[in-house]
């Protein structure tokens, strides 16, 4: 079951990165423009992916592991509603156990979960 769920999540991520919406994306095509605007979910591809070169899962995986800030920064900025935007995407030193993601940022996780499904204005 976990593998199936992971596969669905990977497919959804690839759809979003390639700018697709619908059954595998976050916004179905029947969502009104007003509601789509209220959700702040992008209709374009984040800066981490070159739209001229659609990336495969292995390519995205390599980018995420080699350049985590370049991959996850635009994705988090463009798909989540932040109360306070982060100043540093990634600050990790695995040898010392120091792990830091999206430093300085604050968001409402539950709001980011339900907001795409409701016509609710963002700040």
User: What is the count of structural domains for the chain?
Assistant: 1
Query: What pTM does this model have?
Result: 0.51
Q: Would you state the pLDDT for residue 118?
A: 74
* Dist CA 2 CA 5 (whole Å): 5
* Dist CA 7 CA 31 (whole Å): 25
122 occurs within a structural domain: no
79 occurs within a structural domain: yes
In which band, very low, low, confident or very high, does the pLDDT at 17 lie, cut at 50, 70 and 90? low
Q: Which domain covers residue 94, as residue numbers?
A: 2-117
Q: What is the mean pLDDT of the chain?
A: 71
Number of CB atoms found within 10 A of residue 46's CB: 19
123 occurs within a structural domain: no
Share of the chain above pLDDT 70, in %: 52
- CA torsion, ordered 119, 123, 11, 53, to nearest 10 deg: 120
Over residues 5-16, the pLDDT tens digits come to 445 556 666 666
In which band, very low, low, confident or very high, does the pLDDT at 79 lie, cut at 50, 70 and 90? confident
Over residues 18-58, the pLDDT tens digits come to 655 544 444 444 445 555 554 454 443 344 455 555 678 88
């Amino acid at each position: 079951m976990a593998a199936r769920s992971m596969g669905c999540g990977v497919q959804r991520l690839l759809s979003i990165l390639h700018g697709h919406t619908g059954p595998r994306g976050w916004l179905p095509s029947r969502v009104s423009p007003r509601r789509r605007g209220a959700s702040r979910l992008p209709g374009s591809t984040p800066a981490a992916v070159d739209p001229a070169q659609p990336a495969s899962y292995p390519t995205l995986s390599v980018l995420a592991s080699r350049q985590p800030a370049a991959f996850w920064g635009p994705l988090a900025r463009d798909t989540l509603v932040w109360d306070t935007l982060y100043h540093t995407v990634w600050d990790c030193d695995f040898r010392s156990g120091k792990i830091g993601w999206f430093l300085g940022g604050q968001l409402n996780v539950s709001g980011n979960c339900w907001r795409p499904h409701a016509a609710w204005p963002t700040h």
